[in-house]
Homo-oligomer: A and B are copies of this chain.
Amino acid sequence: MIRIVAAKDFTPVSAVDQSYEKERDIVLDMINQIRQHGDAALQAFTRRFDGVDLTDFRIPQHVYAAAYQQVTPQFTEALREAIQNIRRYHEAQRRQSYMLLDEHGTTLGQLIRPLQRVGVYVPGGTAAYPSTVLMNVIPAQVAGVPEIVVVTPPDKEGNVHPGVLVALQELGIQEAYRVGGAQAVAALAYGTESIRPVDKIVGPGNIYVALAKQAVFGKVSIESIAGPSDILVVADDTADPEYVAADLLSQAEHGELSQAILVTPSSRLAEQTAYALEQQLARLPRQEIAAASIRNRGAIIITSDLAEAIEMANRIAPEHLELIVEEPDPWLARIVNAGAIFVGTYSTEPVGDYFCGTNHVLPTEGTARFSSPLNVDDFLKKTSLVRYSKTALLQHGEKIIALAESEGLEAHANAVRIRLQKEDDKL
């Protein structure tokens, strides 16, 4: 079922590029409703879309304790260890302000400080992922963001997924609301009576959430709009085809537009992986989704050698890149475009989705050419600091005037000149 093609014959299949005009109109109207009517509109949308009538959106403290009874102890334990790992990995991303002095009394600095208030969107329903909470909240916490607020849609009884609740509690999140969809994004951006506005909104969601994030961008910051997930495996003859097939399917099961590609110089591996893929697909609960993904966008690309395989990978710029070859090290530096690189037989991609510590929010759809995994920097901002002394201005003032005048900006020149003149008059 998966197509096997020579490198020269491969053309990538884009995810369908719909315009979503109808959905965009709906979302823009919803945002206006929230801006005008606040909580009343939030309540109405929650009734309409989530089927539950809530007057108090804040998740009450007592439900957290109860949530632990609804998950397995293994889950809680694994979650705690994942939190430690993710925190450890992201702590290495912390940054310091810096300061430069010179002998004329000039001090220049770059202050690096956390955003003040961040909103995290956590999807509900069948896509309620505790790992989403971890991956979006922990970098913000490590950055030192003082206020982190989480929104997540309730079910028909007004409840939230217990795994999500346990994750919130383990991370010490104090402020979480049972609201979802475009209405939650609008509330975070513009505020309502019960939800104060934030400076940045992060987190995945359905098309309405994505369109709402796009619409409020500018009023607040957003991290990015995630496209369908993708994986690209570069493997040689030493790779185990069953492992490769399993890894391809781990991304294919995300959605029908997910992209799973194997690039290899080994036609043996190509054929055996295609076979293993069929075998494993048949046993998957989400086989319909995974099969559609493989059919739509999957491919096995045969290259003449590993160099060409790496070149192909750079061209595709995958979200996840697995490198399963006999001697990976010489190839590593040549992988220029990838969100995350998983090296060797045991670095299967789900290790990074859940546990090892790296972030699973990664650049999709080829944007690894210029984008990065979600990281602590996404929750920091910089401010330049200039302290210019009188000595420095007297020494350099004429140069600044020359540059300003070359651009015809006389008022810029004047701001310097007026000071030089007054100092001169004092002499």
Contact = CB atoms under 8 A, between A and B. Distances in A.
A284 B412 CA distance: 10
A406 B71 contact: yes
- The oligomer's copy count stands at 2
B370 A284 contact: no
A314 to B, nearest CB: 9
Interface size class of chain A, counting residues whose CB lies under 8 Å from the partner chain: 35 or more
Contacts of A412: 250, 253, 350, 353-354
Contact of A113 (B163, B336, B371, B385): B336
Contacts of A368: 381, 383
Contact of A386 (B82, B342, B370, B372): B342
A352 B246 CA distance: 55
Contact of A89 (B108, B221, B246, B247): B108
Given A100-B88, A250-B415, A129 B351 contact: no
A285 B384 contact: no
Interface stretch (A42-50, A295-303, A389-397): A389-397
A369 B116 contact: yes
Given A78-B402, A290-B411, 6 more contacts: A77-B399, A89-B110, A128-B407, A253-B409, A253-B412, A351-B400
12 contacts: A75-B402, A79-B403, A111-B341, A128-B407, A130-B403, A199-B369, A247-B415, A286-B409, A343-B386, A351-B416, A356-B388, A368-B383
